[in-house]
Amino acid sequence: MRPRRQDDPLTRESRALLRSAGRHSAARCAALCLVTAAATGAELLLPAALGRALDLLLAQAPTTRWVLCCAALVLLVAALGTAETVLHGTVDARATAWLRRRTLAQVLAAGPRAGDRFGSGDLVARLVGNAAQAGAAPAARAALLAALAGPVGGVVALALIDPWLAVVFLAGAPLLALLLRALARDVSACVADYQRVQGRIAGALAEAVAGRRTLRAAGLEAKETARILRPLPELSKAGREMWRVQGRAAAQAVAVAPLLQLGVIAVAGLLLARHRLSPGDVLAASRYAVLATGVGVLVGQLSGLARSRAAAQRLGELHTVPAPDHGERRLPAGGPGRLEFRRVTARRGDRTVLTGVDLVVPGGTTLAVVGRSGTGKSLLAALAARLADPDDGEILLDGVPLPELSRRELRAAVACAFDRPVLLGDTVGDAIGLGLPGPSPALVREAARTAHADDFVRRLPDGYATVCADAPRSGGESQRLGLARAFARRARLLVLDDALSSLDTVTEHRITQALLAPGARGTRLVVAHRAATAARADAVVWLDDGRVRAVGRHTALWREAGYRAVFGVPTGEESDT
C-alpha cells in the first residue's frame, strides 16, 4: 500500500483527529508523561545506587543507608509503574470515547452519504475497533517520551561514568536508529492493509446478518459463509507480513543491542583493569548499557503508534465525507407545503440516476412516484427530504431552497417513513415519539391509531411501555410503527419511501384513506409499487430512465402500455385497477 504524503488531506485529517484526542486528555497525558519520566528517572538512579552499595560492601564500609536507598528506589519504580498503568488505561479510554463520539457525530451529520460510501459493517468496524486502536495514540506518545528518555539517560550516565563508554555505545547507535525507523514505516503499511481487509469482512458480515432470513430460506448459509470468509487468506497474509516485519526488525535490533552492551562492558572491564573504574562503576555501566539500548520498549511503542496512525487514517476517511450545510432561514408561517424540483440532476458515483427533473407538488396534495426498479424513485424521495443533495438544480419547500433552511426548521417540516424502519428508543412509545420534544402519550396514541398500529401495540406485554427488543412484530407491524413515528411529527411534508410495501391490502387502503382524508395535514410524497396506491393519489409522477416521463392522474396514465408495465401488466392488456 502506497504511504500517504504529509500534505494529503486525509493524512491531515487523521493527524488533526489524533491531536484533538490528545488535547481532550491533555492533563492526564501530562501526568502520564511526568509519571513515566519519574519512573525512568528512578530506574536511572538505581544502577548508580547499586554500584555505590557494591563499592562500599567491597571496602567493608557501612552500606545500610545505600541499601535502604536501593530498596526505596525499587519500591518507587513499582509504585510509579502502577500509577503509569492506571493513567495509561484512563487516557486510552477517554481518547477512544472522544474519537467515537466525534466520529459518530460526523457519520450522523453526513447522513446516508456515509453508509452509501462505506457500508454499515465497515462503519461499525471503524467506530469500534479502529477508534480503540487510534485512541491508544495519545498515551503511547506520552509514554514514548519516557521510552526515549531511558536510552538517552543511559547514554548520559555512561558518559558520566567514563566518556569512552558513551563513545563505544554511540558508535553503533545509528544502526539501531535506522532499524527502528524502518520498523515504523513498514509496520504502518502492513497494519493499514490488515485493517482494510477487516473492514471488508465486517461489511459482508453485516449484510449477511441483515439478510439472514433470506439466506436460510434459500439454503445459502454455507455459500454466504464462504463469501464472508473469502478475504481471510488476504487477512492472514497481511497479518503474517505485519508480524514478519516486526519480528525481523526486533531480531535485527536484538542482534545489534547485545553487541553494543558487550562493547560497553568490555571497555568498562579494561578501564577497571587500569583502575579508572571501580567494580560498582562496572555494575552500573552494565545496567546503563541495557537501558541505553531499550529495544523492546521502543519496538512496542513504535508498533503501537503505527497501528494507531493506520486506524486514524480509517477514521479520517469518515471525516472526509461532507456533511450537508444548513442555513438560518425559516419557512413562511402557515405555508401549504408546496414542493418544487427545478432542473434537478443527481448522481451516484459515476452513474447519473436523475436527469433534469422539473416537478411541482402543490401544497396539501398527495403525489405518487412510480417507475421501474432503478429509475430513481427512492433517490427522488431522499432529495425531497434532504437526505441527499442534488448535483445540479435546486429543491424548494414553500419557496425556500432546502439548503437555506436551518437544521431544526428542516427536520420539523419534513417527516419520513421507510420500507424497513429502524425503531430507536427504549420503548415502543419512545420509538413513535422519537425526535419530538416531550411527546404526550395522547399524541403517540393518536399517531399509532392513524397508522393502524394501536391495536397490536396494546396487545404487547406492557403496551406502549414495552421495551422495543421485547416487542415481537412482523414486517408490516414494523412499517406501521414507522408510519406512526412519521405521523406524530405532523410535518408540512411527509415522504413515504415504499413505506406501505409490507402492509396487507386492507390496512394499506385504510392508511391511504387517512392520508387523503379532508383536512389531512401537509403534502405527501409516496413512492408507490402498487397500482392501488397510485390510484388513490391526487397525481402521479412517472419516472423512466431517470427522467420524468409524465405527470398526471393514474386513470389517465393507465392508458399508456409502458405505464401499465410498471405494475406488471403485460403490454397490450388493459386490466382494471
- Which residue is associated with the grid cell 405527501? 524
Q: What's the domain count of the chain?
A: 2
Which of 319, 353, 370 terminates a domain? The answer is 319
Model pTM above 0.85: no
- In whole angstroms, what is the distance from residue 238 CA to residue 190 CA? 6
Residue 536: inside a domain: yes
Q: Which residues pair with 340 in a beta bridge?
A: 360, 396
**Model pLDDT, residue 369:** 94
Whole-angstrom CA distances from 17 to 96, 99, 191, 471 are 11, 8, 19, 40
Largest CA distance in the chain: 116
Compute the Cα dihedral for 242, 122, 431, 457 and give only its sign.
negative
Looking up cell 479502529 gives: 130
Nearest 5°: phi and psi at 191?
Answer: -65, -40
| H-only helix segments in 111-135 | 112-118, 120-125, 131-135
Cβ contact 196:242 at 8 Å: no
**Which residues are bridge partners to 329 per DSSP?**
405
Q: In terms of domains, do 350 and 226 share one?
A: no
| Co-location of 270 and 379 in the same domain | no
Query: How far, CA to CA in Å, does 164 sit from each of 66, 462, 497?
Result: 27, 82, 79
Residues of the chain short of pLDDT 50, as ranges, are 1-3, 6-7
Residues 253/224, Cβ–Cβ less than 8 Å: no
577 assigned to some structural domain: no
Range of the domain at 428: 339-566
Contact 138, 29 (CB under 8 A): yes
Q: Could you tell me if residue 575 is inside a domain?
A: no
Name the grid cell of 214.
Answer: 433470506
Tell me if 325 is assigned to some domain.
no
For cell 420524468, the residue is 548
CATH number at residue 420: 3.40.50.300
The string of DSSP codes covering 439-493 is: --HHHHHHHHHHTT-HHHHHTSTTGGGSBGGG----HHHHHHHHHHHHHHT--SE
Mark which of 262, 290, 319 sits at the end of a domain. 319
Grid cell listed for 418: 421507510
What grid cell was written down for 145?
A: 517520551
> What pLDDT sits at residue 2?
44
Measured distance CA(529)–CA(124) in Å, rounded: 32
Beta bridge partners of 57: none
* Phi then psi dihedrals of residue 321, to 5 deg: -75, 120
C-alpha 5 chain-centroid distance: 23
572, part of any domain: no
Helix runs in 334-474, H state only = 377-384, 407-413, 428-432, 441-450, 454-458
CA dist., res. 561 & res. 540, Å (int): 16
Asked whether residue 142 is assigned to any structural domain, the reply reads yes
CATH of the domain at 89: 1.20.1560.10
* Within a domain: 333: no
Residue 576 lies in a domain: no
Res 1: pLDDT: 42
Do residue 351 and residue 301 come from a single domain? Answer: no
Identify whether residues 432 and 479 lie together within a single domain: yes
Q: Specify whether 410 is located in the same domain as 558.
A: yes
Residues 258 and 402 in one domain: no
Confirm if 330 and 158 have CB atoms less than 8 A apart: no
Contact partners, residue 455, CB within 8 Å, separation at least 6? none
What's the pLDDT score for residue 33? 87
**Which cell numbers hold the place of 1?**
500500500
- Specify whether 277 is located in the same domain as 361: no
> For residue 379, which amino acid is it?
L
Q: What is the pLDDT of residue 356?
A: 92
Same domain, 315 and 344: no
Last residue in a domain, options 319, 348, 369: 319
Task: Identify the pLDDT of residue 250.
Answer: 62
Q: Are residues 277 and 401 in the same domain?
A: no
Residue 22 and residue 171 in one domain: yes
C-alpha distances (whole Å) from 390 to each of 5, 352, 395, 467, 523 are 32, 11, 8, 39, 21
Strands 339-348 vs 392-397: parallel, antiparallel or unpaired: antiparallel
- Do residue 243 and residue 389 come from a single domain? no
Question: Are residues 370 and 282 part of one domain?
Answer: no
Supply the pLDDT for residue 256. Answer: 67
